[in-house]
Every structure is written in C-alpha cells, then in structure tokens.
Amino acid sequence: MKMTVEEIGKAVSSKNDLNRFKNVEVTSVAFDSRKLKSGALFIPLVGTHDGHDYLSSAIKNGAVATLWSDQRSDVPSDFPAIVVHDTLAAFQTLAKFYLHKVHPKVIAVTGSNGKTTTKDMIAAVLSTKYNVIKTPNNYNNNIGVPYTMLSINDSTDILVVEMGMDRSGQLDFLSKLVTPDIAVITMIGEAHIEYFGTRDRIADAKVEITHGLKDSGTFVYYGDEPLLRERAKRVHQKQLTFGRRKNDDLYATSTNDEQTKTSFKTNRFADTNFIIPMMGDYNVNNALDALLVGSMFKVTPEQMKRGLLDVHLTQNRAEWMVGSKGELILSDVYNSNPTAARVVLDSFSKTKTNGKRIVVLGDMLELGRQSEAMHVSLSKHIDPKLIDSVYLIGTHVKALYHALLHQYSADHLHYYPTDQLKVMTQKLKSEINRHDEILLKASHGIHLEKVLDELQPKKLS
C-alpha cells in the first residue's frame, strides 16, 4: 500500500482541512496500536475499548496518520488526523477505494467447512503464475476483509479473500465491498445453526456471496449439494461446479488417502496425479475447487500440481505434529462443527499406527437447540476397535460422553468440565506413549491449543 494523507482524506470524505499534512505518505494500515509498522495509518475502532485512547502508543510504534471520529472533541492538532463520522465505515470505504485503484482480480471464498483450506489452496495454485495476496489467518469479517484489501500493492495480480459469517446480511455486505470476479462456496454444513435454525437458511446466507459478483464473474460451488444447486438457479452469472458426480464440471475419478498426504485424479486433467500434503479424502473437494479456479486463469496442470503440493496452510488446520514423547498429533484446534468433526474422525480412524489412537474432543459451539443431538451424532464415528481412548471436555460434549458409555469402559472414556483443562491435560500426558496418535479437535473457545502447547509439539518433517 502507498497513499498520501491527501488521497486518503478525499477517499473517505474527511471533515477537516488536511493541507498541512497532505504529502505525508502511508504505507500500511493497522487497528492494533501494538502491532503496526512504521508508516502506518492507525484505525482507532470503538468496541470494548476505544481505539482513540491508544493513539500515543500507535505514534510511538510508527504510525504516521490516523482516522479520527467526529464524535470526539480531542482531534489531534499536531498529528495527521483524518476526521470522519465512523472510523470503521471509513476504513471499509478506504479499502474499497484502494482495491479499485489497484484493480486486481478478486476471488471470494466462503463455506461452512473448508473455506480457509480452500483459500490457501487457491492462492497456492495461482501463485505458480501470478502475484497473489490472500487473507491472513482468519481475517474474514467486516474488519479483516478490508484489512486484507489494503494489504495489496501495485504488483498484486490476484486477491483471494476468505469471508466468514454467522448472521444473514454479512456476506451480502462483504461481497458488495470486494465485488469479486469469482465467488466460491465450498459446502453447506451446520456451522452457526444456532442462529439460522436450518441448513436451508444457512444456504441462503452463504449464497449472499454472489450479491456483489461482477456481471462478468463466475460462481463456483459444490455441485453435490442440492441446496446450492437450487439456489444457483437464481444466480445469473456463469457457473461451474466441483464434486464427485459425473455431471459436475470437475470431479475426482480416483482418490488415495494416506496419513500425511492424499492423491487424486480428475476427469478434466486425466493424465495428472495431484497430491495434497494432508490427510483426508474430504480435502480433495477443496483441491478440486482450487483446480477449477486455476484453470480459469490458464494455470497449467503441472503448475497446479506443484502449487497444491507446496501449499502453505493456515496454522492449526488439521496439521500433523510430533509430541515430546514421539507421539503423532493431528492438531485441528482452531474450530469444529459436526460435519468437520465427522470427516476428521473417519480419516483419523483409518491411519496406520503401531500405538494407540487417542481422540480429544471439545464442545462444538453455536449449535443451539440441536447441540446435544449433533454431539451425540459423533458417536457413530468413534469405534472402540479403532480408537482406544476418548477424552471429552466442555458442556455440550457431555451428551456424547453418555452416548459412548455403552461402548467404552471407564478407563478408556474420560469427561471433564470446561474449567478442568489442566487436569485433563495431565491425565492425557500420563497415558501417551511413543507411537501413539492423538487427535485434538474443538471449537476455539475450548482452547485445546493449550493442550497442544503442553505436548511440546514440533512440525512433522
């Protein structure tokens, strides 16, 4: 990013005279005063704390200008302060202005599961040929998306933006903010069903990603989902589907799932054996999505193969690691919902091991009245012949504990309330031996990353 204070002021319709500071150059943006770079525009957001109160910290760490709310009387007189009515709205307006100025192609990605992995795969495939910027970490909301938009530069060819939502209307806003050239939906699951009630309503909210899609754009979606096929009839732009049906535009003709990699072939690129460096047949759908997008940008099959093989995944997304005792750990601690938990449990149960398989599951949040039933549904995917021990922590997961009581003896089934994470961790550590395999999966609110830290993991080489 490179803009002057004068240009930023015009873009956000500033309410004050910036002539004294008009030539000050801004090279980045930040809304955390502790984490900004020299040359940054500070965005003081108002939430639990008022970001305006941290301007001195921002200046100390290198901020050269700031947005400033007209609701405050303490406008800095000796520092470039761009006065606006609403700093968040101005931040979003600036992002839209800058995106249109640089004008890269934009790919927007959403879905109940797999959107982060798909974002990573699309970026990896396209990066073999283009200069690509993607959403960092999980910056996928009304703050993270504009931040991502403002992270591009003059040489950026393609921007891959992940979009999350837990309410209707959110994707409508984000899609219209970025006006994508390609809108992608990975799948429809039960994530956030507490707020929507049904998968039908989740599908309605997900399809909002097409509301800002350019008329010349393309809608890419999981063709095996009837809810998406039905709603796609109301989308007038070009459409492409991926999945496992022969009437999808791109489908897998064969797959081979191993512990740390999955290979597959497709109908369109029949001579190429693609490999993704992760376990799980379910990840093939994410890769198919990336291949469809890559082919639209004329990336060759060999380039796409190399991109998938070299993909850099966002941290804590089904990553194999080695613990301090030599045990293998499948860390998937960032989030969890019923669909994701089922497929991970199924894949984990099939791994080759000379030790025990141990599963650690925490609450899946935001499931509402269906929470108990959805936690119980996981019992069909936990087989004592394949999984030796089960550790459960949380409130909602207690229903799963009761469902498993007839399958497991007391010394192989362990339940802990949320506040006993340390107790559970110590018990788990005492059981683990070399050659064992551990699966960690829960919604982020359970903080299984603390368990992971206690196991002192290293990346699997």
pLDDT at 318: 72
What pLDDT is stored for residue 316 in this prediction? 56
The model's pLDDT over 31-76, given as tens digits with 9 standing for 90+, comes to 999 999 999 999 999 988 999 999 999 999 999 999 999 999 999 9
For the chain, give every residue range classified as CATH 3.40.1390.10. 3-84
More confident position, 331 or 415: 415
Binding residues, by number, are: 111-117
pLDDT-above-90 percentage for the chain: 83
pLDDT of amino acid 338: 87
Query: From 1.10.3720.10, 3.40.190.170, 3.40.1390.10, 3.40.920.10, which CATH number describes the 3-84 domain?
Result: 3.40.1390.10
pLDDT at 195 over 80: no
CA–CA distance, 17 with 458 (Å, rounded to integer): 54
**242 and 250 Cβ atoms separated by less than 8 Å:** yes
Instruction: Give yes or no for residue 142 having a pLDDT over 90.
Output: yes
Class of domain 104-309: alpha beta
Q: What are phi and psi of 100, to 5 degrees?
A: -70, -30
Confidence (pTM): 0.89
Q: 50: which DSSP letter?
A: B
Least confident of 2-6, 292-296, 365-369: 365-369
Q: Rounded to the nearest 5°, which phi and psi values hold at 246?
A: -75, -15
CATH 3.90.190.20 spans which residues of the chain?
Answer: 319-459
Side chain identity, residue 188: I
Order of all β-strands in the sheet with 40-42: 28-30, 40-42, 63-69, 81-84
| CA–CA gap between residue 64 and residue 381 (Å, rounded) | 55
Residue 99: is it exposed, middle or buried by C-beta count within 10 angstroms (0-12/13-18/19+)? Answer: buried
pLDDT tens-place string over residues 225-258: 999 999 999 999 999 999 999 999 999 999 998 8
Q: How confident is the model at residue 267 (pLDDT cuts 50, 70, 90)?
A: very high
The answer to whether residue 117 scores a pLDDT higher than 60 is yes
Q: Which of 113-122, 199-208, 309-318 has the lowest mean pLDDT?
A: 309-318
Residues 6+ apart with CB under 8 A from 101: none
Domain with CATH 3.40.1190.10 in the chain: 104-309
Q: Return the sign of the alpha-carbon dihedral for residues 403, 408, 410, 414.
A: negative
How many Å apart are CA 374 and CA 340, to the nearest integer? 12
- pLDDT tens figures, 143-194: 999 999 999 999 999 999 999 988 899 999 999 999 999 999 999 977 666 6
Q: What would the pLDDT profile of 338-357 be if each residue is shown by its tens digit? A: 888 998 999 999 888 999 99
- pLDDT of res. 139: 93
Predicted pLDDT at 320: 87
CA–CA distance, 368 with 145 (Å, rounded to integer): 27
Q: Each residue of 400-410: pLDDT tens digit? A: 999 999 999 99
Binding-site residues from annotation for ATP: 111-117
Distance of CA 130 to the CA centre of its chain: 22
CATH number for region 319-459: 3.90.190.20
pLDDT value for 461 = 60
| Average pLDDT along the chain | 94
Rounded to an integer, the average pLDDT of 247-273 is 94
Q: Which two tokens stand for residue 104?
A: 């890269």
The residue type of 361 is L
Of residues 301 and 190, more confidence is placed in 301
Q: In what order do the strands lie in the sheet with 105-110?
A: 132-134, 158-162, 105-110, 182-185, 218-222, 238-243, 250-257, 262-266, 274-276
pLDDT for the residue 2: 92
pLDDT digits (tens, 9 = 90+) for 415-426: 999 999 999 999
